[in-house]
Structure 1
Amino acid sequence: MKILAPVDGSECSMRALDFAIEFARRYDADLSVVHFTDVRGEDTDRLQTRIDEKLADSGVESDTSVSVDVHLASLKVSDRIGKDIIAVVEDDDYDHVVMGHHGTGRIGAFLLGSAAKTVLESCDVPVTTVP
């Protein structure tokens, strides 16, 4: 089984990563962690370090990557990230997605979109969301 854990650095995405790590350990699955951004900078590097530390502490081996997408600077950025997540799932044949969900409400979802909602509605593999 191949699990994809997209993270954005929020507390709910880090809880989702904890869940994905335990899920991968329990089912002897392959785990990949991905972060999407429009510009790679210090914040991205700090997040990468945080992810690497969690993985090292858990003993679970994982591939981690940062995907730079210049189109993320537009409105409804989360919808775009959701589409990028789905593309990774399809391109790399993942079996399961584990991701956080912010619960931004109607106005936040209208203005920013929701990556989790986009993935839940359009992904062809099981998706676990963690609040």
Structure 2
Amino acid sequence: MTYEPTYKVSLWFRRVLVPIDGSENSMRALDLAEDFSLRYGSKVTVIYVCHNCDDAEVIKKKVEERIGNKIEYELKVVNAGKDSSIANEILKAISEDTYDAVILGARGTSVNSDINIGSTALSIVANAPITVITVR
């Protein structure tokens, strides 16, 4: 029996949000989103949420170096201010737009390498109303 390939999965990942913080885990999440874009035609939005956005240009450069012009993507820089958390701003972005999935690093730039999943990733996994893929 021969099976024809189906691309049902492409409907699950039409619009993908990728929160990044410059950590290697978040860059690997970006690599996975790039692969989804190439394989399934996913539209990728990269979001960098920061309290002090002085390093936004460094993050933009890291994204450009990692992806280049292999895929089209949108990059959003969001200043969380002092009254909000990074997780809350990501969840707000999810609720304000129509994303099908979030791909994010399991842990970011925290100093403690013994932690398997960071507080931001844990909050997104627990509270996002859409599919969440964590990358280690």
TM-score (norm 1): 0.81
Q: What is the letter of the counterpart of residue 63 of structure 2?
A: I
SS of 1:3's equivalent in the other structure is: strand
Q: CA deviation at 1:38?
A: 1.1
Q: Identify the residue that residue 33 of structure 1 maps to in structure 2.
A: 46
Q: What is the letter of the counterpart of residue 104 of structure 2?
A: M
Whether the 8 Å CA contact 1:55–1:61 is kept in 2: the answer is no
Unaligned 5+ segments in structure 2 are 1-13
Q: How many residues align?
A: 119
SS of 2:87's equivalent in the other structure is: helix
Structure 2: how far apart are the matches of 1:82 and 1:27?
Answer: 27
Q: What is the letter of the counterpart of residue 92 of structure 1?
A: D
Unaligned 5+ segments in structure 1 are none
Greater C-alpha radius of gyration: 2
Q: What is the letter of the counterpart of residue 86 of structure 1?
A: L
Q: What is the letter of the counterpart of residue 124 of structure 1?
A: P
Q: CA deviation at 1:25?
A: 1.5
Task: Give the number of the structure whose residues are more often helix, by fraction.
Answer: 1
Whether the 8 Å CA contact 1:7–1:14 is kept in 2: the answer is yes
Q: Aligned-residue CA RMSD in angstroms?
A: 2.3
Q: Identify the residue that residue 130 of structure 1 maps to in structure 2.
A: 135
